[in-house]
Structure 1
């Protein structure tokens, strides 16, 4: 029991920076939730049960466009499919003695940041390490969303519009570093942006809902990139050793 407590405390320490970052980003999510018509409780509950910024922002866009439930579910599947791969990779670092229940709970809390910190830690990890990080990160994401909705009900529209720029800054911060390191990724991102713009204006295609356009572009561009630019075995070994 003492060892579990040490793992939990270690996870909290490593999760605090993640929680603080989530607090800032999810504030913008709360503002977007208010614009989509969600109450503060509804938005907070969404963030508490769905730890995915891209997925939640896409969901808000679909809610605004009154998309069908099936379309929303399929969009979430495509957008969050990477978490399945992360969970599989992370399962190799979890203590083999951890039962299936622990593994399911750890998988629920997998985010890009939590996964990155976990895989960077040396040796096997206790599930309680993940629980500690989740205990610090999830409240930050949930509280930030709630405060964003409440602030959106109080602050003037001009202030809210200015703060909404944070969303675009977050997306830019996500795509710029990999673009600078890899020209192929930069080309794929530019292609995706150009194709998305074209689909918004081309006849017939523009009649398709925004959510379905995201699905089509994701499958086509990601599939084409996987076929044209596959990762070779040597590159995989180099990345594993990095």
Structure 2
């Protein structure tokens, strides 16, 4: 009896991991050219190849890595680098807090820390759209391939930094934004809450960007303010119970 239950448990663990891996394939493919660009930029800026690869293996932060590395190349002080990357990356804390409300029961603190390490804009979007509780195997599968894609892309970019023309290097910078749009638009078309929250975040971010009165607000703070306000309104207007029972769908 115990053997049968153990085998059944292993089956569900493997099933969740495979499902998460399947959902992560577009993210991993999209991360490769973006991190390739990061590897090119960092090595051309004078940072050793092994350090560039180590940065990507310990920091899955996209915009934070680009900003922090640019400051390193520019010779900025440690305090400026720390504050800038903290401001840009603090949104991952908000995303992790949001996902913690969807986690299945019984997930240990260690597993939560592992899951939090792999939370990015894209993995958060995919996980948040799941109409079920998030298990550790599902999240592990969702985060593993993007992590490998990010690290592998960085290594490849660092290795061939002098071979590609500058115009092609610059064009890769829009890959992350294109991928994020491709993730958000289908979900927003199917779900009214997702559409409202995304639209609210875009409106707030645009207001902070283009109105002269907010010209002193940095890009990192725009992200934080937009995320907090949009997520708060989404939580107030569309409770989790309503979304799970289909009340928020078109």
Task: Give your verdict on TM over 0.5.
Answer: yes
In the other structure, the counterpart of 1:160 is 166
Structure 2, unaligned stretches of length 5 or more? 1-9, 186-197
**Is this contact kept in 1: 2:115–2:139, CA < 8 A?**
yes
C-alpha separation between the residues in 1 aligned to 2:21 and 2:160?
Answer: 28
Deviation at 1:217, TM superposition (A): 2.9
Deviation at 1:180, TM superposition (A): 10
C-alpha separation between the residues in 1 aligned to 2:14 and 2:234?
Answer: 40
For normalisation by structure 1, the TM-score amounts to: 0.76
C-alpha separation between the residues in 2 aligned to 1:231 and 1:126?
Answer: 22
C-alpha separation between the residues in 2 aligned to 1:3 and 1:231?
Answer: 31
In the other structure, the counterpart of 2:218 is 217
Aligned residue among 205, 225, 233 for 1:185: 205
C-alpha separation between the residues in 2 aligned to 1:167 and 1:22?
Answer: 11
C-alpha separation between the residues in 2 aligned to 1:138 and 1:149?
Answer: 17
Matched, 1:43 2:44: no
1:95-114 paired onto structure 2 within 5 Å? 95-114=104-123
Question: What is the aligned-residue RMSD (CA, Å)?
Answer: 3.3
Aligned residue among 19, 38, 60 for 1:29: 38
For normalisation by structure 2, the TM-score amounts to: 0.74
C-alpha separation between the residues in 2 aligned to 1:220 and 1:17?
Answer: 28
- Secondary structure at 2:128 match in 1: helix
Matched, 1:121 2:130: yes
C-alpha separation between the residues in 2 aligned to 1:69 and 1:80?
Answer: 16
Deviations 1:151-182 (A, max 9, x none): 21334xxx13432132156558869x868995
Aligned residue among 74, 98, 103 for 1:94: 103
1:198-213 paired onto structure 2 within 5 Å? none
Structure 1, unaligned stretches of length 5 or more? 197-215
Aligned pairs, how many?
217
**Is this contact kept in 2: 1:40–1:149, CA < 8 A?**
yes
Matched, 1:61 2:73: no
In the other structure, the counterpart of 2:61 is 52
